[in-house]
């Protein structure tokens, strides 16, 4: 009987967490979709691209950032899988790789902003510059939130968190982390490639 109550409580908590994360991701998707709609409208109404004789941003740093964020998404997936298979050493290793890659992504963004300035693309110079900075700043802000969420997993590395709650937290953080990867890939192709 007590197990049944615990299972119902766990299911209720899991469902609540899942709904909350879906609502969070929908609201963030709407934010990025609004930015993308503004970009698409501007992009396809411009006679020349990039506008006003501005240079295209260099692809090296955005490509490196894309590889880093994709690897971080893979390492997070491996971390979560390791936890569910009760491979705690692998869980810890993949967790730290994810944290390192997430931090590396943020460093790569700082290099990207520096490179944009060297190219002559400033936030206040044109709409083109404003759009690139708006996208990357908003995404970076969400990455900071993702990194903070990863830090909340530290107690589970020491075995100080309830396994059920850790599963729920891992799933929620994972959904958010993978969402950030997907958004960056869309940004990479739409802003830097096309």
Tell me the pLDDT tens digit for each residue of 75-103.
Answer: 999 999 998 898 989 999 999 999 999 99
CA distances from 64 to 73, 91, 106, 184 (A): 14, 25, 12, 12
> Residues with Cβ < 8 Å from 127, sequence gap 6 or more?
42, 51
pTM score of the predicted model: 0.89
CATH 3.40.50.11810 for domain 2-193: no
More confidently predicted of 10 and 69: 69
Q: Report the C-alpha gap between 54 and 46 in whole angstroms.
A: 13
- 3-44: pLDDT as tens digits: 555 577 878 888 888 899 999 999 999 999 999 999 999 888
Mean pLDDT for the chain?
Answer: 89
Q: Report the C-alpha gap between 7 and 164 in whole angstroms.
A: 10
């Amino acid at each position: 009987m007590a197990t049944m109550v615990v299972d119902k409580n766990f299911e209720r908590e899991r469902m609540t967490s899942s709904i909350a994360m879906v609502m969070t991701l929908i609201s963030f998707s709407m934010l990025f979709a609004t930015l993308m709609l503004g970009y698409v409208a501007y992009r396809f109404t411009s006679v020349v691209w990039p506008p006003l004789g501005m240079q295209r941003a260099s692809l090296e740093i955005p490509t490196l950032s894309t590889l880093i964020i994709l690897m971080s998404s893979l390492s997070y997936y491996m971390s979560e899988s390791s936890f569910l298979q009760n491979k705690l050493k692998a869980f810890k290793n993949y967790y730290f790789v994810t944290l390192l890659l997430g931090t590396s992504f943020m460093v790569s963004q700082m290099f990207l902003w520096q490179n944009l300035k060297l190219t002559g693309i400033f936030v206040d110079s044109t709409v083109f510059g404003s759009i690139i900075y708006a996208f990357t700043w908003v995404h970076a802000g969400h990455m900071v939130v993702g990194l903070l969420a990863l830090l909340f997993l530290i107690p589970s590395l020491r075995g100080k968190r309830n396994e059920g709650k850790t599963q729920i937290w891992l799933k929620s953080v994972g959904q958010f982390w993978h969402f950030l990867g997907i958004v960056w890939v869309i940004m990479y192709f739409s802003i830097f490639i096309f």
